[in-house]
Structure 1
Amino acid sequence: MRGRHKPVLFEPRGHRRERRGPPRWLVLLLTGTALGVTAVLVVQERYLPPRLSAAASAELRAELSGLQAERDRLQRDLGEASTRLARTEEARRGLEQELAGSRATIAGLREDVASALAALPPDPRGGAVEVRAGRFSVDGGQLVYDVVLSRERGNPGRPFQGVMQFVVAGDGARGNGSVALKPLPVSIGHYQSLRGSLPLPPDFRPSQATIRVLDRPDGRQQGMRVMLVK
């Protein structure tokens, strides 16, 4: 028998060439990766904020720490201010209560003064300004006075503005005589209580004092009364 014949392959287009280079899927994968990286870089450069350097990042962290510390300090200050405000508000309420009590006390005192004034004897001379009461004494060469004036007539909403002057009679170095002391300004609404002292001439011993109420110094007399000096 003759030897076996090997089959002969028929290739109508000629012999096949061996393929060279990377496979197509690897090329597509690498191309897609490159395009993705490029797109990310473009977006970062054009649309996102610029990336910070290491020094800028450290500076930003330091500023953030400082801002947090400042915020904590402001919160503490706010707490202390709130505490002080609460104390101030409490003190204000206490002062308002004291003021209300003081006003009630003043109102009561005014009623008492009005009652005491009504109980005083009237000025026998009358006049636009009445001398309702007076008391005089001498202390260390000073004439000590305590006088109550009232005003019944006139405009009650407009106080009387004038002066009060004492003419003191008594014994001096040259015998009996009288001395006019310095006029005192007065403002009288419904009533006015005046207390104080005025200097007397040396070696003068007063025995009586004439109270004169004038509309101005050396002006028109509005009231007068004579009282003893004790």
Structure 2
Amino acid sequence: MFGRSKPVVLESYGHRRKRGRPPRWLVLLLSGVAVGVAGVLVVQERYLPPRLSAHESAQLRSAYDSTEAERKRLQQALRNAEQKLASTTSQNKTLQDELATSRTRIERLSDDLATTVAALPPDPRGGTVEVRAGRFTVRGGALVYDVVLARERAGSKPTTGVMQLQVLGSSAKSPQATVALTPVPVSITSHEVVRGSQPLPEGFKPREATVQVLDRPAGRALGMRVMLVK
């Protein structure tokens, strides 16, 4: 009764744990990890896009690089097109300014020409169309002419017809001969300067030219004047 007492061992959970068995919390932790991994795998297999292999990833990267290069090329082409458009717009503006300047000069020259024609002496023969002035020269076997025609009563509708030149001169066969040149179409509103040249027969030396304005070839005369050939 009063002998040596034995030590008393207290179990924390009310019973003795078997040796070698893992703790319950570790089992629960590992089970949770396993369930989580399984859930991730199920979601990836059923709901997420399939994972790419190394070869497919390389192909995708190559396609991306190619698309990016094409995008940069198109962007550069767009910049070049915008620069060309800006340059073309600037050139068009310059051309428009030059065109406006040319029109102003043409209008001014037309006014100056009208003033000069009005200051020329009148055609002594008169007529519907007056031959106000003319210059005739010989160059390279051709008759070069500048003839100023005017209408005494100019209207909005032009007078149309032909200018017929008959040249009086001499040749090796005849001391006096007349050559009729090809009729030249004319259209006269208030005034018209007719310039040109026509070939003469070989060896022909002109002295004077008769200018006839007709309503049509071999038609009614609208005006006439005789001028010297220099």
Q: So what's the TM-score if we normalise by structure 2?
A: 0.78
Corresponding residue of 1:207: 207
Secondary structure of the 2:124 match is coil
Q: Deviations over 1:43-70 (max 9, x none)?
A: 2233322221111111111222223333
CA contact (8 A) 2:155 2:190 kept: no
Matched residue type, 1:120: L
Q: Shift of the alpha carbon at 1:117?
A: 1.1
Matched residue type, 2:32: G
Structure 1 residues 129 and 2: alpha-carbon distance in aligned structure 2, compared to 1, 3 A threshold: closer
Q: Shift of the alpha carbon at 1:211?
A: 0.8
Q: Shift of the alpha carbon at 1:196?
A: 2.0
Corresponding residue of 1:159: 158
Partners of 2:77 and 2:5 in 1: how far apart?
Answer: 107
Q: Deviations over 1:119-172 (max 9, x none)?
A: 11222333332211112222343222110112344652x433322110122333
Partners of 1:94 and 1:181 in 2: how far apart?
Answer: 45
**After TM superposition, where is structure 1 displaced by more than 6 Å over at least 4 residues in a row?**
1-6, 16-21
CA contact (8 A) 2:154 2:190 kept: no
Q: So what's the TM-score if we normalise by structure 1?
A: 0.78
- 1:123-138 counterparts in 2 under 5 A? 123-138=123-138
Corresponding residue of 1:34: 34
- 1:47-62 counterparts in 2 under 5 A? 47-62=47-62
Structure 1 residues 189 and 3: alpha-carbon distance in aligned structure 2, compared to 1, 3 A threshold: same
Q: Deviations over 1:175-221 (max 9, x none)?
A: 42322111112233332212222122233332221111222222222
Q: Deviations over 1:68-109 (max 9, x none)?
A: 333333343344444444333333333333223222222221
Corresponding residue of 1:77: 77
- 1:1-230 counterparts in 2 under 5 A? 24-153=24-153, 155-156=155-156, 158-172=157-171, 173-230=173-230
Higher mean C-alpha displacement, 54-63 vs 16-25: 16-25
Structure 1 residues 200 and 18: alpha-carbon distance in aligned structure 2, compared to 1, 3 A threshold: closer
Matched residue type, 2:223: G
List alignment gaps of at least 5 residues for structure 1. Answer: 7-15
Structure 1 residues 216 and 18: alpha-carbon distance in aligned structure 2, compared to 1, 3 A threshold: same
List alignment gaps of at least 5 residues for structure 2. Answer: 7-14
Higher mean C-alpha displacement, 139-148 vs 50-59: 139-148
Matched residue type, 1:162: G
Secondary structure of the 2:125 match is coil
Structure 1 residues 18 and 204: alpha-carbon distance in aligned structure 2, compared to 1, 3 A threshold: closer
Partners of 1:5 and 1:66 in 2: how far apart?
Answer: 89
Q: Shift of the alpha carbon at 1:22?
A: 5.8
Matched residue type, 1:194: V
Q: Shift of the alpha carbon at 1:4?
A: 9.1
Partners of 1:201 and 1:151 in 2: how far apart?
Answer: 33
